[in-house]
Amino acid sequence: MQLITDKKIILASESPRRKELFSSLGIPFEVQPSGVIEELDGIYTPEEMAIGIADLKASTIAHRNPNAIVIAADTTVRLGSELLSKPKNNEQAKKFLRLLSGKVHNVITGVSILGQDVSIAFAESTLVKFYELTDEEIDAYVETGDSLDKAGGYGIQTMGGLFVENVQGDYNNVVGLPISRLYRTLLNLGVIEFAKEKSK
């Protein structure tokens, strides 16, 4: 299966994980980090928060690139009524992991797609259950430095995945980009299409 596009596509992200996932589509794209502060004033649901920040990232890059299709994403973790975004320091990362220990939490990624005649956003949710964690393993993991740039203080695709008992939903959504849903959305929008096979 080969996908093609005649659009200029920009991924508004500095995340190497999102870049790697988007690369799986096999289409050309650029990376332009938005540099926006990942915060919104006001009261929002987790889905609204993730979409709102993704919209902010996408609109910042779309303003500079009016002829491009811009894709942005933002991931947050919800435990009960509490939102756990990227920890500000190691102590907060340890606090997050202690809260997640032995519990089921929801990982929500908002995706925004902006461009000429294109404006669509959605949120994907995945349930993740952690094993009971010891203080020793929490401390050892946080000391690796892996926690600080990841929502909830862990990366499922790195050693943080050792804490995960099970996942219900899209694994890639937990990594940071629900690439399957994004692929289908881009296909439905006509941004990407299948390459036609040459007749023999």
Amino acid at 101: S
How many structural domains does the chain have? Answer: 1
Residue 78 lies in a domain: yes
Task: Name residues whose C-beta falls within 8 Å of residue 96's C-beta, 6 or more positions apart in sequence.
Answer: 77, 84, 87, 147, 152, 153, 154
Residue 41 lies in a domain: yes
Residue 199 lies in a domain: no
The enclosing domain of 14 has a CATH number of 3.90.950.10
Mean pLDDT, contiguous 10-residue spans, the chain (200 residues): 95 95 97 88 88 96 96 96 93 98 98 95 98 98 95 96 98 98 97 79
Which one, of 185, 175, 184, 181, lies nearest residue 154 by Cα? 175
CB 164 within 8 A of CB 137: no
Residue 200 lies in a domain: no
Q: What is the DSSP letter of 124?
A: E
Residue 57 lies in a domain: yes
For residue 9, what pLDDT is reported?
Answer: 98
Task: Name residues whose C-beta falls within 8 Å of residue 43's C-beta, 6 or more positions apart in sequence.
Answer: none
Q: What is the pTM assigned to this prediction?
A: 0.93
User: Distance (Å, rounded) from C-alpha 64 to C-alpha 182?
Assistant: 23
Residue 63 lies in a domain: yes
E strands, the chain, where? 3-4, 8-11, 30-31, 68-79, 82-84, 104-115, 118-130, 164-168, 193-194
Q: By residue range, what is the domain housing residue 173?
A: 3-194
- The yes-or-no answer on residue 74 being catalytic is yes
CB 105 within 8 A of CB 99: no
Residue 128 lies in a domain: yes
Which one, of 121, 122, 119, lies nearest residue 69 by Cα? 119
Residue 67 lies in a domain: yes
Q: Which of 6, 74, 149, 170 is catalytic?
A: 74
For residue 178, what pLDDT is reported?
Answer: 98
Task: Name residues whose C-beta falls within 8 Å of residue 110's C-beta, 6 or more positions apart in sequence.
Answer: 47, 49, 50, 51, 52, 53, 54, 55, 73, 74, 75, 121, 122, 123
